[in-house]
Amino acid sequence: MRRTLEIHFSAKEKTMKRILLLATMAFSTAVLGCGENTEPASTATTTTAEPASEATLVALQKADMLDGSEDHVIGKCYVCKLGMDGSDQITAEVHGYTAHLCSESCREHFEASPDEVIASTKIPE
């Protein structure tokens, strides 16, 4: 005759197990999500059909100077309102400047409408 072992957990024990499981999943997601990307990222080129407006060029120059040097490289992510550091592996070219972006989704958004993103971004002082 076969016997089965039944384990009964109290409501408090079930709740604690669920909390532990959710905390473990959240921690794992955070750790794995912040890992280094081992795939080589390609540098995308954004070409605009229209020449840049004077306001766009001034905004690009100001964003370029945020790091203290005028080298036509913008180190902060334009899509994140220049508040996040960009990656030198995730870039877009626009009007003679190289914009470093923080993620592929930010690069896609920037490349879809670079002049709109630039115009809508307030340059920090």
Name the 3-class secondary structure at 99: strand
Strand order in the sheet with 73-74: 73-74, 97-101, 87-94
DSSP assignment of 11-48, as one string?
HHHHHHHHHHHHHHHHHHHHHHHTSPP-SPPPPP----
When pLDDT is averaged across residues 78-105 and rounded to a whole number, the result is: 95
pLDDT confidence tier of residue 42, bands split at 50, 70 and 90 = low
Provide the pLDDT for residue 57. Answer: 94
Tell me the average pLDDT across 3-23: 82
Q: Which of 47-56, 102-111, 116-125 is least confident?
A: 47-56
Interior angle at CA 68, CA 67 and CA 69, nearest 5: 95
- Summarize the confidence of residues 21-37 as an average pLDDT: 73
More confident residue, 50 or 115: 115
Beta-carbon contacts of residue 37 (< 8 Å; ≥ 6 apart): 89
Q: Which residues 6+ apart lie within 8 Å of 124 measured at CB?
A: 66, 82, 83
Q: How confident is the model at residue 74 (pLDDT cuts 50, 70, 90)?
A: very high
